[in-house]
Amino acid sequence: MTDLTALSLIDAAAALRTGEVSSTELTQACLDRIQVLEPDIHAFLALTPNLALKQADDADQQLAQWRREGGDPLPLTLGIPVAIKDVLCLEGIPTTCGSKILRGFLPPYTATSVERLIHAGAVVLGKTNTDEFAMGSSTENSAYGPTHNPWDLSRVPGGSSGGSAAAVASHMCYAALGTDTGGSVRQPASFCSVTGIKSSYGRVSRYGLIAYGSSLDTVGALARSSADLLPVFAAIAGHDPLDSTAMTDPVPEITLDDTDLQGLRIGVPREYSIEGMQPEVEAAVQEAVRVFESLGAEAREVSLPHTNLALPVYYIIAPAEASANLARYDAVRYGPRLEADKLREQYFATRGALFGQEVKRRIMLGTYALSAGYYDAYYGQAQKVRTLIKGDFEAAFKEVDLIACPVAPTTAFRIGEHSDDPLSMYLEDVFTLPANLAGVPGIAFPVGFDSNHLPIGMQLNAPHLGEAALFRAVHAYQGITSWHKERPLL
């Protein structure tokens, strides 16, 4: 019997329309695969098989009616099994953010991005593992145990959307939602050899996303290719009156018919060629740029002069915002609490015991940066430099249409390798942080493997709200390469 989980999202959608397969069959195939692989990979924190099979049955009925009566084209996501990162709320389903402090929390509402995906007919298989409150680059910081990379179970899948990336890479689902605050969609996409989109700030509603860094958080998605990813992005993008930061600009219809990149200008930042980068990563990215040139694009060097300041700026702004956002977990309103004689002692006991080490580290960093006497010296200065970084991108996009660079300096590292060295972990995000600080979109996609057959990813950035150019460029690249078709041996 054909392995239904091996189908691409686009092929699965086509098979659903002809009646060759049903959504119930696709969903059961994914659930069966999860049962086999999940003990080794640990991509999920909660499974929702009853909900999924109910949604699949509803989709089958809608498809059957459409085949009988015709009508408007159906969303390509109708009947497609997907997964949701466990920082996005789904009404009545446990949402923990990978933290003990939210153990047992059942949201009373659904995140707009999730709601829109369900409205477009997607079938929700469950909630995926994440670094606690999305703080990390490896999915090792989850209070419920690390996720393992499907390409090498001894290595990390990246983070913080590592559960979503691992689920897509191991074919447990056809696509997954993730979030990207400093690279948390793109880096796992690179480490797991899938395609991941970080949306422009404000393009996808953040309502129902449990906040980490409010001026940096974006909702994105992961799938096996640009073509598979586009229907998911199309379903979740757009203005939302429930999110005051959501852009009101209409979302243009994106088509992938035109793969001619003639005249496309791709910038290669000189500042992204850094000491210590894994040679195989650098070589694979350079070769990918040459492939784009063979498709008609023009590559030219550009400068983003304040790139070296992105890392320290991010690790002032993000922890500062996190310290404010996480103040609400006060042992009163959410999750479990540890009892004490006095309210203040209850705060200390609960937050001290139930927050993980990395979360406490960032809360302390952020509180210090916002404290009296240091606000102007740290947070205020960081915001000024952030404006310079944003200006770098705006200046570069006057010369080029897209910017190409690596996703991470290395391929996936071993679980525990950076556990005692937070700085080396933070350096894993050195290429992804600038896009979040500038608010511009980025897409990560596979461009090769290293000598250990570990995936190598590359990213493209576009001007704000320029996702269409990203999808078209990557679709053209994937039309003549096969890296995205490789599958881990599980």
Known catalytic residues are 85, 160, 184
Q: Which strand ranges, in their side-by-side order, compose the sheet holding 123-128?
A: 44-47, 123-128, 81-85, 175-180, 218-223, 195-198, 442-449, 455-461, 402-406, 265-269, 298-302
Environment class of 420 (CB within 10 Å of its CB; exposed 0-12, middle 13-18, buried 19+)? exposed
Q: What is the C-alpha to C-alpha distance for residues 417 and 427, in angstroms, rounded to an integer?
A: 13
| Residue the block writes with tokens 């999920």 | 44
Q: Which of 450, 452, 449, 453 is nearest to 481 (CA)?
A: 449
Q: Which of 38, 197, 19, 219 is nearest to 125 (CA)?
A: 38
Give, as one character, the DSSP assignment of residue 377. I
Angle at 88 between CA 222 and CA 484, to 5 degrees: 5
Q: What is the C-alpha to C-alpha distance for residues 411 and 426, in angstroms, rounded to an integer?
A: 15
Q: Which helix (H) or strand (E) holds 45?
A: strand 44-47
Give, as one character, the DSSP assignment of residue 240. -
**Helical spans, DSSP H, in 239-356:** 279-294, 310-325, 343-354
Distance, CA of 136 to chain centre: 12
